[in-house]
Each structure stands twice: as structure tokens, then as C-alpha cells.
Amino acid sequence: MGLFTKDIKSMEDLFLHGLQDVYYAENQIVKSLPSMIDKATNRQLSAALRAHLRETEQQVSRLDQVFAKLGQDPKGTDCPAIDGLIKEADGVAGEVDDEKVLDAAIIGSTQAIEHYEISRYGTLIAWAKELGHGNVAPLLNANLKEEKAADRKLNGLAEGKVNPKASGRRVGTTRTKRTASTRRKTAKTGTRATKKAGARKRSSAI
């Protein structure tokens, strides 16, 4: 199936095309992740990407099962979207000089890819249920859950460590300031409450 060739004549064709699209995408990601892992300097980021590489390989295996259940041979179809995201990721990484900023760029690019996959799997699950292919929905949903979990993990790593280092802000600085501010507000509130209580006691004594 190619773009704009009118090969998609039914919802079943559209569903199959979507599966081939995401199958191609997952296989391209398996090929591209090792490069991102090599470029990452943050050890936690490297570990997270290695873990997701193993997950992605398992996701390809699940898609093989989906094709088998549908009586189709597993194959991909060109996906300009994922090719573009991967190309952009490589391009941006090649332009970053500072290692700390590079880690932030890698996370941003990886999350863009994750978001594409999350969107695709969500659509495919809906189509599978609509077409009566409920037997493949759990396999697609397992992949979707892993993509969402990977995105949350990357987001936590970015906000907790990588982005603050890339921006030059000390990790935990904002939190410390907020905590100190909260303590001051609490102390002031407590002082006002004590004064009010003392005033009430004097009033009742009179």
C-alpha cells in the first residue's frame, strides 16, 4: 500500500494499513535506539533507553502475534512520520555541543516518538474493537501501556534531573525555596493563631 494510491477500500484495509505502519515504526525504533543510547551521557537515561529497547523488541513480537491472529503475514509499510521523527532526533543531537543539553534533547526527541506511538496504538485498539477483532486488542493494549509508562519515566527523569542540569539550575533548588517559603507562611499563621487564642482568654477572664 502506498500513499494516495486508493489501495484502502474498507475499514479492514485501513486497520491492516495502520498495523503495518506501526510495525514499520517499531522496527525502525529498534534500529535507532542504540544510537541514542550511545549518545546519552546520563546513566539513568541510558538505562531507561536500554530498557525501552528491550520493550520495543517485545512489542514487535506482539505485533507478529497480531498479524498471525488476523491470518496476515507480518510486514511494514513506509511511515514518513516515524522516519521524520527519527531523522529530526539524529539531526538535533548532532547540533548539540553541551552533553547535559544533549541529554535533554534526546529525551525530547524520544518522547515525540513515544507520543506518535501512543496515538497510533490508541487508534488501532479502537478500530480492532469496532471490527470485531477483540482477540488482538489485548496485545495492542500491552504495547500501549508500555509506551505510556516509558513516556512517564522519561518525563520524570527530564523534570527531576536532566532539564535542571541542562538549564544550569541546581536540582532541588526550586523545591527548597518553596519549602522554605511554606515554613515561613506556616510560622506566621501559627503566630497569628496564638495571638488570637491569647486575646480570647483575656476576654473571657474579664
Please tell me whether residues 53 and 27 are part of one structural domain: yes
Pairwise CA distance, residues 87 & 81, whole Å: 10
Average pLDDT of the residues in 179-196: 53
Task: Provide the grid cell at 182.
Answer: 511554606
Burial class (CB in 10 A: 0-12, 13-18, 19+), 196: exposed
Q: What is the pLDDT of residue 67?
A: 98
Q: What is the pLDDT of residue 94?
A: 87
Q: Structural domain tally of the chain?
A: 2
Is 64 contained in some domain?
yes
Alpha-carbon 63 to chain mean position: 20
- Whether 206 shows a pLDDT value over 60: the answer reads no
| Domain extent at residue 142 | 11-171
Please tell me whether residues 120 and 179 are part of one structural domain: no
The answer to whether the beta carbons of residues 103 and 42 sit under 8 Å apart is: yes
Task: Provide the grid cell at 101.
Answer: 543539553
* Exposed e or buried b per residue across 129-138, where buried means at least 16 C-beta atoms within 10 angstroms of its C-beta: eeeebeebbe
When the pLDDT of each residue in the chain is averaged and rounded to a whole number, the result is: 86
Please tell me whether residues 88 and 181 are part of one structural domain: no
pLDDT digits (tens, 9 = 90+) for 64-116: 999 999 999 999 999 999 999 999 999 998 888 898 999 999 999 999 999 99
Q: What is the pLDDT of residue 176?
A: 42
